[in-house]
Amino acid sequence: MATLWTLQQLHYSPSFARKDSAKQLGCRIVATFYYSGNCWKRTSACKTHRKFVLRAYSHPPPVKSSGDGGGAEFDNDNKSVVPAVPDEAIMVNCNNNEYPQQKPKRPHEDMPQSLVFKLQATVASLPPVIFSMKRHFSASFTLGLCAAATLLLFVMRSYASRKSNHSRPGSVADLVRRGQLRSDRRGISTPLKYDDPFNNPMVKVGKSNSTVEMCGRVYKLAPVTLTKEQQAIHQKRRSRAYQWKRPQVFLKEGDSIPPDVDPDTVRWIPANHPFATTASDIDEDLAQNNVYQKHGVPFRIKAEHEALQKKLEALQNEQKLDKLVIDAGAAKDFERPFKSPLKAEDQIVDKGPLNGQMGSKQPNSDPVHKSHRSASEEMQNP
Amino acid sequence: MISLQPLTNPKASALYSSSLIPPNPFFHSLKTLKPPTPYLKPFPRIQSILQYNRKPQLAGETPRVVVITSGKGGVGKTTTTANVGLSLARLGFSVVAIDADVGLRNLDLLLGLENRVNYTVVEVLNGDCRLDQALVRDKRWSNFELLCISKPRSKLPIGFGGKALTWLVEALKDREEGAPDFILIDCPAGIDAGFITAITPANEAVLVTTPDITSLRDADRVTGLLECDGIRDIKMIVNRVRTDMIRGEDMMSVLDVQEMLGLALLGVIPEDAEVIRSTNRGYPLVLNKPPTLAGLAFEQAAWRLVEQDSMQAVMVEEEPKKRGWFSFFGG
Ligand SMILES: Nc1ncnc2c1ncn2[C@@H]1O[C@H](COP(=O)(O)OP(=O)(O)O)[C@@H](O)[C@H]1O
Ligand SMILES: [Mg+2]
C-alpha cells in the first residue's frame, strides 16, 4: 500500500523541476523497500509489488495507514477469494483507486474477464514454484509499465507547459521565439554580432583539457610541440634549398636585357600571357597619381572630356567658316552608306555626337569617339 | 528504477553547467585567454564595440597587410580570405580584401558581390575611376570592402604591378575614414608574375595547405620564396582535414604537416560539405547560423590572426561522445 500511495502521489503531483522529481521518486521507492522489509521480513522488491497487484483486484482499497502488518492477511485472502471474486469488486476498485494504469485489466473488458479469473484460479491451483514465477514476471512487467507511463506523462507535461509558455502572446518567451529578442542577452539593446568562437554553446573544452566538443562531436586534443629552434632549422633548410631573387624587371620575351639589370631578377612575360602584359599605355608616375587621387573626375575621363570639348570647338569654328561650302558635301554623304558598308559604320558613329555634318572628313577622329562612347556607357551604370 | 537513475547522475547535470566552465588554456594559447583589455584606437567607431564581453586584442601595426597564399591551386585560399575577412569584420575591424588572383578571380563570387564589381585596380591605374569607386562595400558588414585587381579579360600591366599594390596600400592608409585594420590579399596559385605582384606589399603571410604531399611541397617552396622576399611572419592554415581519415592512418595529421613545414599553426579547418554549399550561395560560412564546424574553425583562426597568436593544441581524432541515458530527452 505504501507502493500504491507513492505511485498515486507521483502521478498526481504538480509539475516540478525534472531533477527534483527524480530525486523524490528515488526516495519514495526506497521508502517502499523499507516498508516491505518491515512487514515481510523479506527484502525482495518483486514480492512487494506482487502483493500490491493482487490486492488491487481482490479488495476495495484499504485505509492507507493500515499498511503495516496487513500483508500476510492479504496473501492469505488472495488465495481463497480470487476464484470467487465478482466483477463488481473490480469496478469499485478502479473507481476508488483513480489509477487505471495500475490495473492489468480494465472494467470494459468484461467478457474476457471471467475467463481470466478462471485461468487465474487454475494457475493458483498449479504447483507453487511455477505460480510464483508467473506472478513475479507479471508484477515486474506491470511495474515497468507504470514507470514508463509515469515518465511519458512527465515528458509530455513538461513539453506542454513549455509550449504553453511559448504561445502566450507578448511574453518574453514569445518574443524570443519570434526572433525579436535573444534569450541569452536580455537587457542589451543592440544585437550580438558574434559569439566568442572559443567558448559558446557549440564549442566546449573538456574538463581534463584533453578533449574539445565542437558542434556536438568530441575531439581529442594533442599539444603542439614545435619549438623556435625547430622553426629556425626549417628556415635555414629552405633558404639553402630555394635561393631566389625577387624579379625586379618584367620583360617581354625577345626583348634585350637593359645593361644595368641583373639577369637573375628578370621575369620574362610571354606575349600571350593570360593576364599579365608588359605593355602599358600609361606611365608609372601617372598611374601612381591615379591611385592616390581622392576627389574629382578621374584622370582619363577628364582627359577624354577635354579632348572632346576641344574637338567640338574646333569643329564649330570650322563650321561657321565653311558653312556654305559644306552643304553640297553633306548631301553627297547621305549616299555613302549604300556604297560601302565599312565606311557606313564610320559615318554612323561620327554622326552621333557631331550632328552628322562633317564626320567623313575626319579620318583620325575614330579613337576618340570610341573611347568616348565606352566612357559614357560606363557612366550610365556605375 | 534503473532507467530513472541517470537523471540524478552528476554527468547529466554537468551537461547543463559545462558552458560555465572557463575556456581551456591548453586549447587556445595563453595569450588568447588574457582578460579582455579595452581596445583603444583613435577612431570612436571602434570604441562603440566595447559592449562585447570578450574580443581579440589587436597586435601589431595597422594596417596589417596579410597575403594568403599556397602555391598549389584549389586548396582554399579564396575560401580562407572570404571567411577570415568577414570574421575580422564581425569582430569590429575594418578590412579590405584584395582579390589579386588576376587569372582566376572568384573572391567576389564567394562573397556574393559579383554584381557590384564595376571597376578594378586596372581601371584605377588607367585613370578611368578613383580608388574609392573601385572598392565594393559589403552590405552585410559595412567595414568589409572588396577590391579586385582586374576584370577577367583585361591584362594587368605587370611592369609596375607590384608597385601598384604598394601604392594601393599607401592610398588606403591615408583615406579620410582612416586606415583599414587589415588588408588581406588573396594570392593567385603558382609562383608566377601574379604571385610576385600579390606578395609585394605584404608584411605577413598565411600559408594555406591541405594535408597531402603535393600541396605540402608547393607550400614549402612558397614559404621559401616568401622568406627570401623578407616576409618572416608566416603562419599556416591546414585546410580540408578529415579527422576520420587520420584515425585510419590514411591522411597526414596536422602535426605531421607541421613537422614537415616547421610553421606555426594559425588554424585547422576540417573538411566540411557546408563550405561548398556556402560557396555556391555566395554567403561565407562564418555568417551561417547556427555555426558549422568549419565556420567556427575560421572564426578561431581570425581571432588568432588578430592577436598574432598560434595554436597550442590541435584536434587529432574524434572520440565517441559519452552520452547520458537521458540526453535523448534534451540533456
Ligand atoms: N574545408 C573545406 N571543405 C570542403 N571543401 C572545401 C574546403 N575548403 C575549400 N573547399 C573547396 O575547394 C575548392 C577550392 O577552394 P578555393 O578557395 O577556391 O581555392 P583556391 O583559392 O586556393 O584556388 C572550392 O570549391 C571550395 O568549396
Ligand atoms: Mg582562388
pLDDT band at residue B169 using 50, 70 and 90 as cut-offs: very high
pLDDT at B290: 79
pLDDT band at residue B250 using 50, 70 and 90 as cut-offs: low
pLDDT at A243: 81
- Residue A69 backbone class (left: φ over 0; alpha: ψ -120 to 50; beta: rest): left
pLDDT band at residue B135 using 50, 70 and 90 as cut-offs: very high
How far is residue B176's CA from residue A91's CA, in Å, rounded to a whole number? 90
How far is residue A303's CA from residue A280's CA, in Å, rounded to a whole number? 17
pLDDT at B71: 87
pLDDT at B185: 95
Ligand 2 centroid–CA B288 distance in Å is 21
pLDDT at B324: 52
pLDDT at B322: 59
Is pLDDT at B177 greater than 80 in this prediction? yes
More confident residue, B296 or A342: B296
pLDDT at A276: 74
Nearest alpha-carbon partner for B269 in B38, B81, B4, B136: B81
Instruction: Check the CA dihedral A161-A164-A165-A166 and report its sign.
Output: positive
pLDDT at A318: 83
Is pLDDT at B266 greater than 60 in this prediction? yes
In the predicted model, what is the mean pLDDT of residues B243-267?
Answer: 83
In the predicted model, what is the mean pLDDT of residues B176-203?
Answer: 91
- Smallest Cα distance from A73 to chain B, Å: 28
Check: CB of residue B91 under 8 Å from CB of residue B39. Answer: no
More confident residue, B249 or B36: B249
Percent of chain B with pLDDT over 90: 44
How far is residue A151's CA from residue B189's CA, in Å, rounded to a whole number? 61
In the predicted model, what is the mean pLDDT of residues B215-225?
Answer: 93
DSSP character at residue A200 = B
In the predicted model, what is the mean pLDDT of residues B296-319?
Answer: 88
In the predicted model, what is the mean pLDDT of residues B320-329?
Answer: 54
Is pLDDT at B320 greater than 50 in this prediction? yes
Chain A residues near residue B157 by CB distance under 8 angstroms: 277-280, 282, 287
* B contact test, residue of A199, A245, A255, A275 with most B CBs within 10 A: A275
Could you identify the residue written with the cell 554553446? A201
Amino acid letter for position B246: I
Amino acid letter for position A291: V
Whole-model pTM over 0.90:
no
pLDDT at A179: 58
Residue by residue, DSSP assigns A274-311 as SSEES--SS-HHHHHHHHH--SSS-HHHHHHHHHHHHH
| Residue ranges for chain A with pLDDT beneath 70 | 1-113, 115, 119, 122-136, 162-195, 274, 322-382
Question: Residue A197 in 3-state DSSP?
Answer: coil
In the predicted model, what is the mean pLDDT of residues B255-259?
Answer: 90
Ligand 1 site, residue B78, Cβ cutoff 6 A = yes
More confident residue, B265 or A133: B265
How far is residue B293's CA from residue B270's CA, in Å, rounded to a whole number? 7
Q: Which of residues 280-309 of A touch B (CB under 8 A)?
A: 280-282, 284, 286-288, 290-296, 298-303
pLDDT at A140: 86
pLDDT band at residue B31 using 50, 70 and 90 as cut-offs: very low
pLDDT at B246: 67
pLDDT at B137: 95
- Residue B282 backbone class (left: φ over 0; alpha: ψ -120 to 50; beta: rest): left
- Smallest Cα distance from B272 to chain A, Å: 12
Question: What are B188's three cell numbers?
Answer: 593567385
| Per-chain mean pLDDT for chain B | 79
pLDDT band at residue B205 using 50, 70 and 90 as cut-offs: very high
- Smallest Cα distance from B73 to chain A, Å: 16
Percent of chain B with pLDDT over 70: 78
pLDDT at B28: 44
The best mutation among B104, B276, B299 to test binding of ligand 1, ranked by most ligand atoms within 8 Å of the C-beta, falls on B276
pLDDT at A314: 92
More confident residue, B275 or A201: B275
Could you identify the residue written with the cell 485489466? A105
For the ranges A201-210, B75-84, B182-191, B315-324, which has the lowest average pLDDT? B315-324
Sheet strands side by side (includes B264-270): B136-137, B144-148, B95-99, B182-186, B64-69, B204-209, B233-241, B264-270
pLDDT at B133: 93
Is pLDDT at B47 greater than 50 in this prediction? no
